[in-house]
Amino acid sequence: MNKISIKHLNKLKKNNIGICSATSYDASFAKFLEDSGVDIILIGDSLGEVVQGNKDTHSVTMENMIYHTMNVARGSKKCFLVADMPKDSYITKGQALRNANKLIGKNMADMVKLEISKEDIKTVEYLIKNDIPVCAHLGIKPQKLSSKKKYKKIGKTIKENNTLINESRLIEKMGCELLILECVHHETANKITSCLSIPVIGIGSGNKCDGQIRVLYDLLGISFNGVPKFFKEHIKSPITNTLKDYVLKTKAMKKCK
């Protein structure tokens, strides 16, 4: 069983084969995703919402990310693992490097992901110069938003379109090896995917990116805070049906005696 590498992901892009990504936070689901053929597992700070039950990702700590990354790494030996850098974990270059080193390496993730704004450019350059593989996150940035009411498609206007394309080219030039686009208008996402040589993974950004990523709990229809509007039509809930069947059979057991 060969470990999936960034070289393999680049080959999938080149050959126009979709890259499948999903989040995981523990060993059991990581193994399940690997056995199902998923290419990339993201240990996402979305755990703040779907695991911890918080309203956003802001309270997720480095300790949380280290713990869940270790669990996922135990469960998956083949998938390419990307770990989120949580909010306020990369305010300075030195802090970013110390924290990134805690998430990657032996028995941990292969890459870290940062929600990148203008003020983070120097930090990203510093990480890459210090041999830290980086996945950039553009579009909607949950760590920057105080309310989900502020979620909206990015890239609809000419200005937003041009800004996103320029930012994408810049992060590739800096040496980022993956890009995630969240809630980017599909036409803008298409342009970015076409003009970059690195794989572009979309979430709520249309179906023309090199791959897609989903929060696992959204896929299963069991997310604590509900499922994103753009995804509701795809929900199937085998877990819900299995548990309901278990409950009904258990409650009927005594009646059979």
Report the catalytic residues.
182
CA distance 224 to 55: 9
End-to-end CA distance of the chain: 49
Residues 121 and 170 sit within 8 Å (Cβ to Cβ): yes
C-alpha distances (whole Å) from 73 to each of 65, 123, 140 are 12, 26, 27
C-alpha distances (whole Å) from 89 to each of 110, 163, 170 are 18, 25, 22
Write out the H or E segment, with its range, that includes residue 125: helix 121-129
Residues 201 and 175 sit within 8 Å (Cβ to Cβ): no
What does the block give as tokens for 66?
A: 């280290």
